């Protein structure tokens, strides 16, 4: 995978530099920064692999709303009682906030005021992928992102793609963030880890039946209430074969119609995306390489500058 990391660096170095971030950004500013984040994430994932899935999801959810600026971490305040983290796509399902808090606390002791929360979120997503994949997914990430000051529930609802999206809606959603069809198919593969609330897919196991594998639908009907609500909305694993491993099993599940969401099944709705699903399912190492590249590309979406951003001090939950 070292060769993969080098290729990713070479392809994306120019794009990253143009946006004010660069690889090795903390080599002088805070040399142990990435090691500290990886150590904190590793400890958390070993205790609970689900936290790792949450951190990968957090990296995605942060970048799709206000860009990769740690706006997803901001707590409610009297002036802003409904930030992103309280929006339905994030609450109560998004996990890993305490891991970011722990990493920030160590970094502030070692290098006060140097490491942005936005960088911590992206490093943590990368490191979660590293551990959950059995070290097969590993890639360098540029640093130097600034933290945002704006976090709105309404924007999370507007920009995060729901599990009910069809293929054309997904393509448009990703295109709005500068991501292409290949990025869409590749990043969807993160659904190979983690859990989902029943409310996100009950339409696919109700009558009339969807194209979901009947055996899986039967199992899910036993696990989920007919009408889940906020007080009765259990979670189930997203990948019934390798639920705690980041691998290409997701694509085999798509082909076998053993996936939860309409947005997962939608990847078979065109010849182009179907072909990509097959390639990721059966060509060894292809998905891991593409996932690394797509995660770096996503981490560069709509970055803040010193003019409209900051480096939060002490806590990632509040602006300075």
Q: Which H, E and C letters describe the chain, residue by residue?
A: CHHHHHHHHHHHHHHHHHCCCECCCHHHHCCCHHHHHHHHHHHHHHHCHHHHHHHHHHHHHHHCCCCCCCHHHCCCCCCCCCCHHHCCCCCCCCCCHHHHHHHHHHHHHHCCCCCCHHHHHHHHHHHHHHHHCCCCCCCCCCECCCECCCCCHHHHHHHCCCCCCCHHHHHHHHHCCCCCHHHHHHHHHHHHCCEEEHHHCHHHCCCCCCCCCHHHHHHHHHHCCCCCECCECCEEECCCCCCCCCCCHHHHHHHCCCCCCHHHHHHHCCHHHHHHHHHHHHCCCHHHHHHHHHHHHHCCCCCCCCCCCECCCCCCCCCC
pLDDT at 183 over 80: yes
Please say if the pLDDT value at position 7 is more than 50: no
pLDDT cut 90: percent of the chain above it:
91
pLDDT at 5: 47
pLDDT given for residue 14 in this prediction: 52
139-158 pLDDT, tens digit per residue, is 999 999 999 999 999 999 99
User: Residue 210 has what pLDDT?
Assistant: 82
Model confidence at 274, in pLDDT bands (50, 70, 90)?
Answer: very high
User: What does the pLDDT read at residue 9?
Assistant: 46
Mean pLDDT, the chain, whole residue set:
94
Q: Which of 61, 104, 191, 290 is catalytic?
A: 61
The model's pLDDT over 124-140, given as tens digits with 9 standing for 90+, comes to 999 999 999 999 999 99
- Per-residue pLDDT band at 221 (split at 50, 70, 90): very high
pTM: 0.94
pLDDT at 10: 45
Give the mean model confidence (pLDDT) for residues 237-251. 97
Q: pLDDT band at 13, cuts 50/70/90?
A: low
pLDDT the model gives residue 20 = 84
Active-site residue, 61 included? yes
Provide mean pLDDT across the span 287-308.
97
Model confidence band, residue 112 (pLDDT cutoffs 50, 70, 90): very high
pLDDT for 64 equals: 98
């Amino acid at each position: 995978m070292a060769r993969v990391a080098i290729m990713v660096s070479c392809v994306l170095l120019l794009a990253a530099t143009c946006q004010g971030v660069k690889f090795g950004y903390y080599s002088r500013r805070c040399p142990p920064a990435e090691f500290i984040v990886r150590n904190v994430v590793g400890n958390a994932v070993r205790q609970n692999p689900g936290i790792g899935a949450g951190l990968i999801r957090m990296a995605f959810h942060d970048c799709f709303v206000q860009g990769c600026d740690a706006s997803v971490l901001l707590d409610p305040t009297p002036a802003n009682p409904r930030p992103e983290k309280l929006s339905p796509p994030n609450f109560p399902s998004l996990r890993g906030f305490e891991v970011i808090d722990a990493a920030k606390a160590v970094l502030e002791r070692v290098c006060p005021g140097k490491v942005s929360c936005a960088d911590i979120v992206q490093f943590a997503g990368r490191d979660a992928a590293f551990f959950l994949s059995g070290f097969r997914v590993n890639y360098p990430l540029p640093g130097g992102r600034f933290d945002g000051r704006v976090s709105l529930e309404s924007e999370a609802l507007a920009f995060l793609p729901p599990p009910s999206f069809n293929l054309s809606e997904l393509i448009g959603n990703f295109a709005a963030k500068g991501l292409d069809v290949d990025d869409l198919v590749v990043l969807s593969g993160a659904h190979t880890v983690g859990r989902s609330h029943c409310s996100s897919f009950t339409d696919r196991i109700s009558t009339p039946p969807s194209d979901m594998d009947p055996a899986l639908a039967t199992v899910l009907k036993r696990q989920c209430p007919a009408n889940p609500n906020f007080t009765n909305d259990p979670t189930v694993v997203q990948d019934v074969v390798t639920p705690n491993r980041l691998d290409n099993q997701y694509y085999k599940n798509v082909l076998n119609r053993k996936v939860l969401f309409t947005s997962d099944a939608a990847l078979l709705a065109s010849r182009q995306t179907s072909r990509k699903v097959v390639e990721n399912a059966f060509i060894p190492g292809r998905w891991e390489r593409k996932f690394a590249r797509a995660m770096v590309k996503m981490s560069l979406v709509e970055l803040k500058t010193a003019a409209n951003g900051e480096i939060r001090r002490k806590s990632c939950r509040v602006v300075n």
